[in-house]
Amino acid sequence: MAVLKVAKLGNPILRKIAAPLTADECKDPKFQIFLDDMVETMEKLEGIGLAAPQVFQSKQAVVLRSTSNTRYPEAPDHPLMILINPVLSDHSEEMIEGWEGCLSVDNLRGKVCRHRKVKLTAFDREMKPLAFEAEGFPAVVLQHEIDHLLGKVFLDRMSDFSSLTHLAEFDEYWLSPHKVV
Ligand code: ZN
């Protein structure tokens, strides 16, 4: 396995619509190794999700897993998911606002509104069809990652840039709601 290079904001690959994978493409042993490399890259860089275009493959694949780490100390635990060709099939009208960052957007956090609940269809890495619902934190991560497949980053989803903050300032002023400043 290998840690892959991450495309940064400004790289045109982050703005392309990713291509869906065929069963043959997904089952190719080289692509299966690539999926393992995506997981390793996400974990090494302490991301909670990663989309294939972020590691220079404009294909519809995302991985996510969350455990508390130094980038996201308050992240709840969520088991590893590898999703091929994920599509949001439905969502709640109700929105939730939360802080987002991105491995492709260094050193920034900003508040983004997302649907609180989403329904998805996708395939697993063996191309078995999946359909499921997610709510709260995993729903937000899924929306962020699927956006990468559509050429979008979280900055595009911010309605107000006044919350945009560098990481050191995020840690100092926004991480703990109880901190006296
Ligand atoms: Zn991202």
Q: Residues 77-132: pLDDT tens digits?
A: 889 999 999 999 999 999 999 999 999 999 999 999 999 999 999 999 999 999 99
**For residue 145, which of 35, 16, 50 has the smallest C-alpha distance?**
50
Instruction: Quickly list H helices, 5-48.
Output: 23-27, 29-44
Q: Which pLDDT does position 3 carry in this prediction?
A: 96
- The reported pLDDT for the residue numbered 180 is 54
Cα first-last separation, the chain: 44
| The token pair that represents 63 in the structure block | 């991985």
- Distance from residue 66's CA to the centre of ligand 1 (Å): 14
Query: What separation in Å is there between the alpha carbon of 31 and the centre of ligand 1?
Result: 21
Within a 10 A sphere around the Cβ of 107, how many other Cβ atoms? 11
Q: Is residue 110 within 8 Å of residue 158, measured between CB atoms?
A: yes
Catalytic residue among 25, 43, 145, 169: 145
* pLDDT value, residue 67: 78
What is the whole-number distance in angstroms between the Cα of residue 67 and the centre of ligand 1? 17
Q: Identify whether the C-beta of residue 63 lies closer than 8 Å to the C-beta of residue 81.
A: yes
**How far is ligand 1, taken at its centre, from the CA of residue 145, in Å?**
6
Q: Name the β-bridge partners of 134.
A: 118
145 is catalytic: yes
Q: How far apart are CA 32 and CA 34, in angstroms?
A: 5
Structure tokens at 32: 């299966």
pLDDT score of 71? 72
- pLDDT, one tens digit per residue, over 135-173 is 999 999 999 999 999 999 999 999 999 999 999 999 999
Distance 107 CA to ligand 1 centre (A): 12
Phi-psi region of 95 (alpha: psi -120 to 50; beta: other; left: phi over 0): beta
Question: Across-strand partners of 61?
Answer: 84
- The 10s digit of each residue's pLDDT in 11-68 is 999 999 999 999 999 999 999 999 999 999 999 999 999 999 999 999 999 999 987 7
CA of 180 to the centre of ligand 1 (A): 30
Is the domain spanning 12-174 CATH 3.30.70.100? The answer is no
Looking from the CA of 132 toward its CB, the CA atoms found within 13 Å total 13
Query: Could you tell me how many residues make up the chain?
Result: 181
For 58, 65, 115, the CA distances from 141, given in Å and listed in that order, are 19, 9, 11
